[in-house]
Chains A and B, each alone.
Chain A
Amino acid sequence: MTLQSLTKDWEPMAYGFLDGSAKREIRRKMLKAISVPGCQMPYASREVPMARGWGTGGLQVSCTLVTPRTRIKVIDQGADDSVNAASIRKFLASVSGAPVTTDTLQADLIQSRHRIPEERLREDQVLVLQVPNPEPLRSVQPNMSIARQMHADADYGRMWLQLYEQIVRSGRVMQGASYPSLVNGRHVMTPSPIPRWDVPKLHMARHLTLLSAGREKRLHAVPPFTRVEPLVFDDVPYRVEDHAGLTCHRSGARGFFMNEIPQADGTSLHEVSDSDLGVKTIRAAEGEDTRIGATWYVDGEMS
């Protein structure tokens, strides 16, 4: 054994920003997360040049996976051009030299804050979701050690009770985003604060989903072809947001998840939340050569 064999050549910065030991740890934990779908795996969560809570978990997963050939798309609430998305995309490109895109169909790796694109993801694509709170039980059990024991026991009675109380008080389930979902019939996970509209997209999907919470130092995964079932009562069916009949005032796209834009006169306009889909719809309407992939929702119905 020589000194040369124990050291590596000097580099100004590790490729993909994270050093080797950080990447190896995240790799090992991702493999275990894929093996136990929906189960939260603790990891060290190294420092990245971004405040915790702004997507550092997703960023560390992306930094681990990225290569100079990985085409990256980053979205924030469906938009490619918001500050969080633009800065993460710029950072990933600058530390990896990876090409970037806004087109869902061309992306290899999609890092997202709180939305799943409307176009169906393929089986070679990876979706990385940024997770602010990975613990679905936190609202019913703030002690994380007890919550972990509840996951170990598959003790989700309080989760059901919470949903029941919402129905009794309000007539419907009030959980808007991060709807608790049973993965592979065993672990309840939070799908990160994606709207209810997006949760069915995870069920038996073709792509791999990795959910990573940097501040909370945990990651979980939904492999392809895995059951993801929102917790619902037999007689109170799961309902997605009532957006099926809305039309985007800019692109004319209809039957997708919309952003509501309040107007001065008290009314509101709607704009398709998946900005890339909106852009493509406008381009197609103007006669440009664009390809819109198959979408999960067709005419506002999950297909």
Chain B
Amino acid sequence: MPAVPQPSAFESRCNATYDALMWALSRPGLPRDLPPFDPDDLPAGLAHPAHAALIDALIDRECTVHCENPELARHAARSGAAPGTPRTADHLFLDGLATPDLLGDLRQGSDLHPEDGATLVLPARLGQGAPLRLSGPGVDGTLDVRLAGLPEGFWQTRARIMRYPMGFEVFLTDGARVLGLPRSTRVEVL
């Protein structure tokens, strides 16, 4: 009987990172904890090291990635991913957003292939700021959350430009916590 393979620290971290992302999208609005990571594993000097952990779990040479942070862009390039613009990238990692105008540039896929829609990863402050009411798949009735650090008009723009099943997914990171908002979630600004 051959020995059972043991996961490396990298494999374990990627698996746990994905687990957090999967449950974050399955239960929109409920923050999940990303696994702790060894600072030596990730590039130094990143404002949002969680974004590098997401890249490790999801990104490889099949992806087109837009990273605002040049250090993060180098990390993404090491995975083999092609660099892209906000219009062409399937995964976007931003350090912040001043206006919601960028949302209009994001890939939304098509009715035939909704999976071509982009995934936007943004830092935000979870549990502070404007109250929002979420509803849709994954939400038991409605859920009230507070999110800060996003530009004025973000949710209105998101609702205006997405026509389900086309759209994009948003992951909001706050330190080692992540909150997911799939395109199927309705966000009401209270």
Binding site for B on A (CB under 8 A): 1, 5-6, 8-9, 11-16, 20-21, 23-25, 27-37, 39, 41-42, 64-65, 67-68, 93-97, 123, 148-149, 152-153, 184, 186-187, 208, 223-227
- By DSSP majority rule, is chain B's interface helix, strand, loop, or mixed? loop
Identify which of residues 1-56 in chain B touch chain A, using a CB-to-CB cut-off of 8 Å: 1-8, 10-12, 14-16, 18-19, 21-23, 25-27
- Complex: how many Å from CA A21 to CA B11? 12
Instruction: Decide if B19 touches A65 in the complex (CB within 8 Å).
Output: yes
- Complex: how many Å from CA A1 to CA B57? 21
Task: Kindly name the residue among B5, B6, B61 whose own CB sees the greatest number of chain A CB atoms within 10 A.
Answer: B5
Instruction: Decide if A35 touches B139 in the complex (CB within 8 Å).
Output: no
Q: Does B184 contact A (CB under 8 A)?
A: yes
The residue on A at minimum CB distance from B57 is: A27
- Partner of B7 from the list A8, A34, A68 (CB cut-off 8 Å) is A68
Instruction: Decide if A15 touches B78 in the complex (CB within 8 Å).
Output: no
Instruction: Decide if B12 touches A67 in the complex (CB within 8 Å).
Output: yes
Instruction: Decide if B169 touches A35 in the complex (CB within 8 Å).
Output: yes
Q: A31-B21, A35-B25, A36-B165 are in contact. Are A21 and B60 (CB under 8 A)?
A: yes
Q: List, sorted by A's number, 16 A–B pairs whose CB atoms are closer than 8 Å.
A: A8-B10, A12-B2, A20-B11, A27-B22, A27-B58, A31-B58, A36-B165, A64-B18, A67-B12, A148-B112, A186-B165, A208-B22, A223-B137, A224-B27, A225-B137, A225-B139
The residue on A at minimum CB distance from B119 is: A31
Contacts of B19 in A (CB 8 A): 65
The residue on A at minimum CB distance from B62 is: A25
Given A27-B58, A187-B165, list of 20 further CB < 8 A pairs? Answer: A9-B8, A15-B11, A20-B60, A24-B58, A24-B62, A27-B57, A33-B115, A35-B169, A36-B182, A39-B165, A94-B1, A97-B4, A149-B112, A152-B111, A184-B184, A223-B27, A223-B137, A223-B182, A225-B137, A225-B139
- Partner of B184 from the list A16, A37, A96 (CB cut-off 8 Å) is A37
Instruction: Decide if A223 touches B58 in the complex (CB within 8 Å).
Output: no
Q: Does B59 contact A (CB under 8 A)?
A: yes
Contacts of B61 in A (CB 8 A): 21
The residue on B at minimum CB distance from A210 is: B22
Instruction: Decide if B182 touches A34 in the complex (CB within 8 Å).
Output: yes
Q: How many pairs, one residue from A and one from B, have CB atoms within 8 Å of each other in the complex?
A: 135
Contacts of B138 in A (CB 8 A): 34, 223-226
Q: A1-B78, A224-B27 are in contact. Are A27 and B18 (CB under 8 A)?
A: yes
Q: A35-B169, A39-B165 are in contact. Are A6 and B5 (CB under 8 A)?
A: no
In angstroms, how far is the closest chain B Cβ from the Cβ of A205? 11
Instruction: Decide if B58 touches A28 in the complex (CB within 8 Å).
Output: yes
Contacts of A186 in B (CB 8 A): 164-165
Contacts of B139 in A (CB 8 A): 225
Contacts of B140 in A (CB 8 A): 224-225
- Complex: how many Å from CA A253 to CA B74? 61
- Complex: how many Å from CA A289 to CA B107? 56
Contacts of A32 in B (CB 8 A): 114-115, 117, 169
In angstroms, how far is the closest chain A Cβ from the Cβ of B106? 14
